Structure 1
Amino acid sequence: MKRREEKKPNGERWMLTYSDLITLLMIFFVIMYASSTADTTKYKQLSKSLNAAFEGGSGKSIVGDQSGVSVLDSSGTTPAKITVDSKDASASANAVELNKLQSIKKNVDTYLKKNGLSGSVSTKIDDRGLAVSLNSTLLFDIGKANVLKSSTKKLISIGKMLNSVNNYIRIEGHTDSTPISNNEFSSNWQLSAIRATNVTELLISKSGINPKRISSVAYGENRPISSNRTPAGKAKNRTVDIVILSSLFSKTEVIK
């Protein structure tokens, strides 16, 4: 019987095992890297959510050194329920401010009635805040911008009442649509601007209003509250408005 010839052992079989091992290791590290990246992202998202919900807390964030808040009470246990309602807080703040403006409006209205100024000065609360509108005939001669001496004390008294709060104050100058051109002013823009500026400076120097809390603007005839087609409408449009700005509008005023 013929004896079979034995095959020589394959000396390169170890390469297959080695290649498989290298492939598995590579897949393992890829999976580990992907998992660690995803976890970090998730934790960062969770951290941002917690920081937003508990802003102002004294705890630490679960990622990095960001500020966070501790969710444990003094006994070390988790509270059953934590409620953060920013809408209620905002509504409460708005109610407090509205009451404050209404109180000032009441004081001003009482002063106007006692001094017979109700026909020349009006007050209203709107989105801007509390607006005290003074007819220009009370404060100025026609075509002039200097505050009349007869009205100076009244304006100062109103300014002191408005100075009882820390809100920003804006003085707005308005005219009717009648063109103006004299030796002092070439346009209604200039007239309304100088009138508003003169009232502003008087309130600063005599009513004690901080100059950082007050500003003046001029609108000329461009923001009428009534029709300029009638004398009565024009009279309503010639005003200087003292506006106690609400907190929403005060955000546009920045003291540096």
Structure 2
Amino acid sequence: MAKKKHEEHENHERWLVSYADFITLLFAFFVVMYSVSAVNEGKFRTVSESIKAALHPIASREASALAFNVGQHRPALISPNLPGTKEVAIRRLRDFVKSMQSMSQFALIHMLERLDGSVVITIPDQVLFNSGEAALKPEALPFLQGLAQAMLELDRQVRVEGHTDNVPIHTAQFPSNWELSATRAVIVVRVLHELYGVPGSHLAALGYADSRPLTANLNPEQRAKNRRVEVIILEDKMTAAPPDGSLNPEGAPESPGEQLPADLLPPVVPIH
């Protein structure tokens, strides 16, 4: 009688082989990841020092322990003698004028950079004043504030010139265009100094009436172009005043204590 074949024993633990292989591969994966992510501290320090040296080529001085107060003329804290400061300030002034020109009421303002390094900003009279008046419009104050900040940053002599057309004016306040042009220039100077902190020693006001027209006064358009205030930021810094203080930057005698009528000055409004 033939022997019965023994039934083959089924192995239910074959999954352990696959599991062991999976664990081995997972362990190898983490070993590789750790070896890749491990930082060489010496190389990291070398790279870090190189980056610091590239970004800060000049060692910073130790901060002073003395307390200081920021005055009301914040732009004056910028040193005007650092290399490149003037170019940066001129670029900011150029960008500021362009931004103001995008507004309809300031569209006719013009900025010219001369070959001698001076900057001429031409402001039509209707931007600053009403016809035949010298009281500054309140809406012109933001523009003058921006100019004042540029003047403080540049630390240069500034000449403000008033110009009119050839139409005569005869009023109790302004007997001629000379008084009108000069008073307008003085008002702009006083706003720059008294409201926005431009040093008085940096400023001069001149009135030219209709003696320096840009075009012929043949029609209303030409006359409107000639009625203007020019703010000229000169290339040279202010020279020292005489010891007795008898002359202003233009060499004209000063008359301290003389007050302009209050109705000529604009209302003081906060600029945000």
More strand by proportion, 1 or 2?
1
Secondary structure in 1 matching 2:208: strand
Instruction: Please give the secondary structure, in 2, of the residue aligned with 1:163.
Output: helix
Q: Which residue of 2 aligns with 1:219?
A: 208
Trace 1:1-256 onto structure 2 (pairs within 5 A). 99=87, 102-126=90-114, 127=116, 129-247=118-236, 253-256=239-242
The amino acid of 1:255's aligned partner reads A
Q: Is the 8 A contact 1:168 1:245 kept in 2?
A: yes
Please tell me the residue identity of whatever aligns with 1:242. V
Any stretches of 5+ residues in structure 2 without a counterpart? 1-82, 243-272
RMSD: 2.5
Residues 107 and 161, structure 1, Cα contact 8 Å, conserved in 2: no
Identity of aligned residues (%): 24
Closer, same or farther: CA 121–215 of 1 in aligned 2, 3 Å = same
Structure 1 counterpart of 2:231, one-letter code: I
- Cα deviation for residue 255 of structure 1 reads 2.3
Q: Which moved more, 1:192-201 or 1:105-114?
A: 105-114
Cα offset, 1:224, TM superposition: 0.7
In the alignment, the residues of structure 1 paired with residue 108 and residue 161 of structure 2 have an alpha-carbon distance, to the nearest angstrom, of 16
Distance 1:206 1:134, change over 3 A: same
Per-residue CA distance 1:14-57 (angstroms, 9 max, x = gap): xxxxxxxxxxxxxxxxxxxxxxxxxxxxxxxxxxxxxxxxxxxx
User: CA offset at residue 228 of structure 1?
Assistant: 0.7
Residue pair 1:157, 1:207 contacting (<8 A) in 2 also: no
Higher relative contact order (CA 8 A, sep 6+): 2
- 2:120 and 2:232 in contact (8 A); partners too: yes
User: Could you tell me how far 1:163 is from its partner in structure 2?
Assistant: 2.4
**2-structure distance, mates of 1:153, 1:99:** 23
Q: Is the CA contact 2:97–2:111 (under 8 Å) kept in the aligned structure 1?
A: yes
1:179–1:205 distance in 2 versus 1, CA, 3 Å: same
1:220 is paired with a residue whose SS is coil
**How does the TM-score come out when normalised to structure 1?**
0.56
Larger helix share, 1 or 2: 1
Shift of 1:207: 1.8
Distance 2:212 2:105 in 1: 24
